[in-house]
Structure 1
Amino acid sequence: MQVVLSPDAEILDPLVASLREGSEKAFRQLFGIYDNRLLRYASKICLTVEDAEEVVQDTFISLWNLRQEIKGADITGWLIRVCRNKAINSLRKGIMKIDFSGIPEIQTNLLSPQEQLYYAELDRLLQELIQALPSERRKIFLLSREDNLTHREIAELLDISEGTVKKQVSLALRDLRGKLVPYLEMLTLVMLSHIK
């Protein structure tokens, strides 16, 4: 049975074969073919153009690092899958960095009643999760996020090392992210529906 290849197969197969052998020239040519396509794709998912550009760059780094696993006809699908996964990860990280503290006073009037309920539930859940953190971690996290103290200021205040502060904030964020992931997609949709 003969497989029908895409029109690009005549160009892609030799490039991918050269790439698998470590050809930087083939890599640059593939970059030229896919760079703009992937950037447009990632831009639809990422919060900023800069994030999309970073996603595309990371996608091509993965292509180079995993070049021996790529097959000619599969490269388009492989690049899109990798780009999509990296863009979704970027979006999740970006959402976790957004300061939502001003939203109740400024933006909730733009939300539908159902979205307002969802946001209130998310805020309630976040407060519960913060309260469930181990007491020292919670104290450090709140000093960092609510009081806006630097790691150094927290370390001096609590008479602990800056490294301990950094580690506790990191662990708190990891715990919160892990428990909030199921809600992130819905929150993303709510936020994106209000961007004009």
Structure 2
Amino acid sequence: MGVNETKLISDYGLAESIKNSNQGVFELVFNYYYSGLVIYADQIIKDTAISEDIVQSVFMKLWETRESIEIRSFRSYFIQCVKNRCIDHLRNQQVKHRFDNRIPDANHLVMEEDLWTKNELAELIQNAVDDLAPRCREIFWMSRYENLKVAEIAEKLNISKRTVETQISKALKILRVKLVDYISVLILYFFY
């Protein structure tokens, strides 16, 4: 039996062990090939961290598909897988680079104030406020738009502070429900 035949038999035996979920054999194969494959990938990618990620992803894929693998030579299998992943990575980088060049940098965009935020959002809020019961709307308006304190509203309308607090709380709950789809935009609008 020649050296190549022995190698094929041992690779076949290792592949069968991995196929049968033998983690010890998988770790043995990983430890034997990992560093050489990272060096190989790094010659193509020129970034060690990405090369390590690529090699790890090849081993993860091997483990995930272990039950259906047919490997005659681990060396050939790994070289081909790593090469393909490197090519995929480089293609993705080229596509990303092309699109990055087409999309203007946000720091260089000249925009007037965000019209959608100013107009559309204000209209949504106003419609929701308009739908409140008259007394609730009046109290909410005085609180949020006239910036009156609870005590000032109570005195002005000749009602208790507790009634004012209850009406403001009720208005906020109703608005939260009506504007639930816009909460993230509202947070940005009011807090940034």
| TM-score scaled by length of structure 1 | 0.48
Larger radius of gyration: 2
